[in-house]
Amino acid sequence: GAGVSQTPSNKVTEKGKYVELRCDPISGHTALYWYRQSLGQGPEFLIYFQGTGAADDSGLPNDRFFAVRPEGSVSTLKIQRTERGDSAVYLCASKWDLNTEAFFGQGTRLTVV
Amino acid sequence: AQKVTQAQTEISVVEKEDVTLDCVYETRDTTYYLFWYKQPPSGELVFLIRRNSFDEQNEISGRYSWNFQKSTSSFNFTITASQVVDSAVYFCALRENRDDKIIFGKGTRLHILP
């Protein structure tokens, strides 16, 4: 596809359930980011991949959050035992390398009820 | 620590007026990058500009212009002759050279009234 694709666009889940959010980056982009955006706030960094490895996961809030990128392309953000406070828009971005701009997807809106 | 402050939470102007969005940043790095992104109601973040810390030259792109001043740690964004389509949330952001995460401000919601 032409841009970063995120699925699903909306996800409603019950408290305590497990969810997976998917990101398809722009083809050929080696760097991939996950951000979380709460209502009225700016995007908050979660994790950054360079290729298959997580280069920086310092933004993951706790061990319920985990992300993978096994083949260096598609990435999945996994949230265990969801809590109402996890409700937010989760944004994915990708870019060619360190010195280029990041392109963002439209996000997945997660609602935990 | 790196930080981006956008003091204006919300601004409303009448179409065709000029408007300036303020951005102040904090960093201990001498090499860093500053960005502006636009977030329309659709939710996607749209890249507008990137500026590195060694280039203080102001930039103009159509109705958009940016004023980077290291002396005051500011990177302000001006829209000239605003249009209704400019209505969106605008984010200023910073990336230090030591790592690759972009730190965003809280954004300024801009309403352009017809």
- At A55-110, the pLDDT tens digits run 899 999 999 999 999 999 999 999 999 999 999 999 999 998 767 888 999 999 99
Tokens 């951000």 sit on residue:
A35
pLDDT for the residue B95: 92
Tokens 């007026």 sit on residue:
B17
Contact, B112 vs B84, CB < 8 A? yes
B47–chain A Cβ distance below 8 A for any pair: yes
Q: List the single residue in A with minimal CA-CA distance to B91.
A: A42
Q: Chain A contacts of B47, Cβ < 8 Å?
A: 101-104
Selecting from A42, A56, A59 the residue whose C-beta is nearest the C-beta of B91 gives A42
Q: What mean pLDDT is predicted for residues A8-24?
A: 98
pLDDT digit of tens for each residue in chain B (114 aa)? Answer: 789 999 999 999 999 999 999 999 999 999 999 999 999 988 889 999 999 999 888 888 999 999 999 999 999 999 999 999 999 999 999 999 887 889 999 999 999 999
pLDDT for the residue A1: 52
Q: Classify each residue of B44-78 as buried b or exposed e, where b means 16 or more C-beta atoms within 10 Å of its C-beta.
A: bbebbbbbebeeeeeeeeeebbbbbeeeebbbbbb
